[in-house]
């Protein structure tokens, strides 16, 4: 197993951290949740964070927590798509798109901090059962992802999103 | 990471005096929409927490990259689907279909893998001239061990089907000048030890000169 210090990975994939935090902040704005502080990138742990007021409903909390998962996955996939479709060579444009797309997809998974705050939100007495049913597996998967990150799960996920999905799609329609 | 506010009054802090004025502007009319000690105008301001200029610029760059990617993807998707189809046909042993799929592709893509796949498909579907042309176009290329083995197989099949002599097959228009046939150079190159039976290093394929296949000299001649 290759061990690379976290801050080096964070530095190498900083575009993903920025997109991740911006997704949290954007969703706070859409849900009318006041934001107190945002750190888009730092070399420490966590690599970035958004401190916000308690959302007015559990659903809003859920949306704020999982927004980066959707946004980073979609943006990473779209940016990497021409690289996945490229047939020959890795020119500078492909390398740039590949790096940015992979970095963004690599930071798609919500952090355990996101999972913990979501867990606290769905355990509140007023939270709906539907939200609990949907959010519980999400929290579980986030924690599994955090555990597996020591075996490069985030990078594996990014590879699946950026290259595996387009390849599977091509194979399906070929 | 998204963190809930640390400013909420908690059970541990009941002894503390709750702020009676907005911590931001000092207004005594606190908002009823939030537990934060802020007035309503400040709460609305916090909802519109500004994105710094550099984040906006970064977002614009990312958006531009997405647009560029979509344009590039649109250009590449057709060929990618066709290549995937050709490979699938080849895997399934449907050589004629694979050959037909590769045919329009090799005018645009002259990379070694595509040409070799095309040569294999052409050879196995009975298009010997096209296979010979593709092999000639592979002259001077560096190949992997696997590609070298596959190229040798095609050469071997060509030799068997033509009795050792190849008619001049149609040459493939090359976009890369380096890939043009060079009679005095090996058709395919692979780093290795020199072989006494072949003036080129092991793994090399020569057109018009003795060839090696599993240490057995084979011959392809063009005329």
Q: At what angle do helices B128-137 and B112-124 cross, to 10 degrees?
A: 160
The alpha-carbon gap from B197 to the nearest alpha carbon of chain A, in Å, equals: 34
What pTM, to 2 d.p., does this model score?
Answer: 0.75
Least confident of B20-24, B75-79, B174-178, B204-208: B174-178
- Return d(Cα B80, Cα A87) in angstroms, integer: 7
Question: What is residue A97's predicted lDDT score, i.e. its pLDDT?
Answer: 94
Whether the predicted pLDDT of B189 surpasses 60: no
DSSP 8-state class, residue B23: T
Is residue A72 scored above 60 in pLDDT?
yes
Which chain A residues contact residue B72 at CB under 8 A? Answer: 81-82, 85, 93, 97
Phi first, then psi: give them for residue B98, nearest 5 degrees: -65, -45
pLDDT of residue A30: 95
3 state DSSP class of B2: strand
**Model confidence at B61: pLDDT above 50:** yes
Reported ipTM exceeds the 0.85 cut: yes
Locate the chain B residue with the closest alpha carbon to A74.
B66
- How far is B182 from B139, CA to CA, in rounded Å? 6
Distance CA A112, CA B95 (A): 52
* Inter-chain CB proximity B46 and A34 less than 8 Å: yes
Contact with chain A for residue B72, Cβ under 8 A: yes
Q: Is the pLDDT of residue B149 over 80?
A: yes
Search chain A and give the residue with CA nearest B60. A19
Nearest to A46 among B1, B4, B83 (CB): B1
> SS in 3 state form for A44-96?
CCCCCEEEECCCCCHHHHHHHHHHHHHHHHHHHHHHHHHHHHCCCCCCHHHHH
Of A48, A97, A111, nearest to B65 by CB-CB distance is A97
* pLDDT tops 80 at residue A32: yes
Q: How far apart are CA A20 and CA B192, in angstroms?
A: 49
* Closest residue in A to B33 (Cα–Cα): A56
Q: How confident is the model at residue B208 (pLDDT cuts 50, 70, 90)?
A: very low
pLDDT of residue B17: 61
B8-57 tens-digit pLDDT:
544 444 455 667 788 888 888 888 888 888 888 888 889 999 999 999 99
pLDDT in tens, A84-117: 988 766 788 999 999 999 999 999 988 888 888 8
Q: Which of A96, A105, A15, A30 is nearest to A68 (CA)?
A: A105
State yes or no: pLDDT of B70 exceeds 50.
yes
Which two three-digit tokens encode residue A118?
Answer: 């979501």
| A24/B2 CB distance under 8 A | yes
Give the residue, B195 or B4, on which the prediction is more confident. B4
Region of B134 please: left (phi>0), alpha (psi -120 to 50) or beta.
alpha
Q: Where are the domains of chain A?
A: 6-173
Element at A39 (helix H, strand E): strand A35-39
In this predicted model, what pLDDT tens digit does every residue of B85-123 receive, in sequence order?
A: 988 998 888 999 999 989 888 888 878 888 889 999 999
**Predicted confidence band at B198 (pLDDT cuts at 50, 70, 90)?**
very low
Q: What is the pLDDT of residues A142-171, one digit of tens each?
A: 888 888 887 888 899 999 999 999 999 998
* Nearest by Cα to A51 from B141, B104, B67, B36: B36
User: Cβ of B81 under 8 Å from any chain A Cβ?
Assistant: yes
Do the Cβ atoms of A104 and A72 come closer than 8 Å?
yes
């Amino acid at each position: 197993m290759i061990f690379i210090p976290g801050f080096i990975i964070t530095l190498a994939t900083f575009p993903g951290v920025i997109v991740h935090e911006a997704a949290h902040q954007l969703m706070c704005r859409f849900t009318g949740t006041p934001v107190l502080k945002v750190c888009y990138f730092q070399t420490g742990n966590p690599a970035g964070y958004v401190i916000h007021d308690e959302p007015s409903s559990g659903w809003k909390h859920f949306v704020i927590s999982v927004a980066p998962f959707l946004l980073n996955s979609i943006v990473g996939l779209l940016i990497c798509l021409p690289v996945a479709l490229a047939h020959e060579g890795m020119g500078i444009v492909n390398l740039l798109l590949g790096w940015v797309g992979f970095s963004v997809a690599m930071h798609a998974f919500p952090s355990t901090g996101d999972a913990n705050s979501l867990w606290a939100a769905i355990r509140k007495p007023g939270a709906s059962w539907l939200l609990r049913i949907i959010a519980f597996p999400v929290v579980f998967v986030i924690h599994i992802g955090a555990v597996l990150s020591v075996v490069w799960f985030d990078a594996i996920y990014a590879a699946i999103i950026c290259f595996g999905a387009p390849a599977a799609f091509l194979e399906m329609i070929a | 990471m998204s963190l809930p506010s640390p400013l909420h009054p908690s059970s541990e802090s009941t002894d503390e005096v709750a702020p009676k004025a907005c911590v931001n502007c000092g207004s005594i009319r606190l908002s009823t929409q939030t537990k934060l000690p802020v007035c309503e105008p400040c709460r609305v301001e916090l909802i519109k927490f500004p994105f710094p200029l550099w984040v906006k610029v970064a977002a614009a760059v990312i958006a531009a990259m997405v647009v560029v990617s979509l344009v590039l993807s649109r250009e590449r998707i057709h060929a990618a689907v066709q290549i995937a189809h050709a490979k699938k046909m080849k895997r399934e042993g449907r050589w004629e279909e694979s050959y037909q799929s590769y045919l329009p592709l090799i005018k645009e893509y002259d990379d070694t893998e595509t040409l070799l796949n095309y040569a294999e498909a052409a050879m196995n579907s009975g298009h010997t001239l096209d296979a010979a042309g593709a092999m000639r176009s592979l002259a001077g290329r560096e190949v992997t061990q696997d590609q070298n083995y596959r190229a040798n197989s095609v050469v071997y099949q060509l030799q068997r089907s033509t009795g050792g002599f190849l008619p001049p097959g149609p040459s493939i228009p090359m976009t890369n000048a380096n890939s043009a046939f060079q009679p005095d150079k090996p058709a395919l190159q692979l780093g290795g030890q020199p072989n006494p039976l072949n003036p080129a290093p092991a793994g090399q394929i020569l057109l018009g000169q003795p060839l090696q296949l599993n240490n057995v000299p084979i011959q392809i001649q063009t005329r």
